[in-house]
Amino acid sequence: MSNRWVGKSFATFVLLPFCLLMAFPFVWMLLTSMREQNTIFNGPIIPRKFTVTAYKDAWTSIEFPLHFWNSLWITSVTVIGVLVFATLSGYAFAKLQFPFRNTLFVLLLTTLMMPSTALIIPLYLELKSLGLLDTQTGLLVLYISGSAPFAMFLMRAFFQTLPDELIEAARVDGGSELTIFRRVILPLTRPGIATVVIFQFLQTWNEFLIANTVLRNTDALPLQPVLFTLMGQYSTNWPALTAGLTLSVVPVVIVYVRMQRQFVAGMMLGAVKN
């Protein structure tokens, strides 16, 4: 018993300072965002006076609401699109019999790990020739097509856990394949759907490279590229910059804290199934 206590105390002794270190950048972000502009150079490390001026600055001067809305809108459409495509195809690959099923699946699988860094040039050129460059539609097409295969993979794993007899019985009862999918299968797949939604939400909300490359029109930009531009413009106005960072992180933290369980389960499944 005493041995246990030694272990637990040792773990606490090591982990707690380490946690403080890990949390420090966020604590610093909050402190800086509530600092008065003239105290960032030589003020005390913990400010004597807290102010929300920086949040007002960030909110008005960089049209924060507009970009926040862009991010929210782009993320929502992507999540819905990916979800529809991935549940349909995941179900087909898990439960329907059709010729070349495995060949097509393996083809999707082998390219799952291709990073957008490597594909950004042809994707840019492709959008250009389709006339979709600098449009949110173009960005959405790239987001959905890039993410659907992985989400399909996750959903397939969930569908595989459902018994075949269920579908067979529904078929004998005379349901069409689409009816069976919608009425019998989907209601049973809530946890899987929640996982894909959370995973996709975080991924899309945080995406930078593609958005920064295919969108040039400032009004259409989501938050991440805007934060990047801000860093250049506001390199002296730290409170406003950190206030912008803080605001941009709020939705992500809310989603994570509210749905931590499904999220962790999903990450794990996704990672392990690779």
Partner 1 sequence: MATTLTREDVVRRSAERTSYRFGSPLRRSQRIAGYLFIAPTFLLFLAFVLWPILYTAYLSLTSWGGFGSPRFVNFDNYTRMLNDPVARRAMVVTLVLTGVTTAILTFLGLVAAVLVNVIWPKVGVVVRTILFIPGIVSFVVSAVLWKLIYDPNIGTLNRLLGAIGLDSLQHPWLADHRTVLPAIIVVTVWGGLGFNMLIYFAGLQSIDPNLYEAAAMDGANTLQQFRHITVPSLRVVTGLIVSLGLLNGFKAFDVIFVMTGGGPNHHSEVLGTYLYSLAFGTTSGSIPQLGYASAFSVVTMVLCTLAVIAQLWLTRRADR
Query: Per CB under 8 A, which of residues 47..86 are in contact with partner 1?
Result: 84-86
User: Helix (H, G, I), strand (E, B), or coil: what is residue 121?
Assistant: helix
Amino acid at 133: L
Q: Is 253 in the site for partner 1 (CB under 8 A)?
A: yes
Question: Taking contact as CB under 8 A, which single stretch among the options 56-64, 72-80, 92-100, 189-197 is the one that binds partner 1?
Answer: 92-100
Compute how many residues bind partner 1; rule: CB under 8 A. Answer: 101
**Taking Cα atoms as reference points, which of 36, 61, 63 lies closest to residue 47?**
36
Q: Is 177 in the site for partner 1 (CB under 8 A)?
A: yes
Q: Is 172 in the site for partner 1 (CB under 8 A)?
A: yes
Tell me which of 46, 111, 217, 219 binds partner 1, using CB under 8 A: 111
149 vs 196: CA distance, rounded Å: 12
Q: Is 1 in the site for partner 1 (CB under 8 A)?
A: no
Q: How far is the CB of 266 from partner 1 (least distance, A)?
A: 12
Q: Is 181 in the site for partner 1 (CB under 8 A)?
A: yes
**Taking Cα atoms as reference points, which of 93, 82, 100, 66 lies closest to residue 273?**
93
250 vs 223: CA distance, rounded Å: 12
Q: Is 271 in the site for partner 1 (CB under 8 A)?
A: yes
Query: Per CB under 8 A, which of residues 6..45 are in contact with partner 1?
Result: 7-8, 11-12, 14-16, 18-19, 22-23, 25-26, 28-29, 32, 40-41, 45
Query: Per CB under 8 A, which of residues 198..227 are in contact with partner 1?
Result: 202, 205-209, 213, 224-225, 227
Query: Per CB under 8 A, which of residues 139..158 are in contact with partner 1?
Result: 141-142, 144-146, 148-149, 152
Chain centroid offset of residue 221 CA: 17
**Token pair 């400032």: residue:** 218
Instruction: Find out whether 212 and 117 touch, Cβ atoms under 8 Å.
Output: no
Write the CA distances from 229 to 65, 146, 212, integer angstroms.
Answer: 16, 25, 10
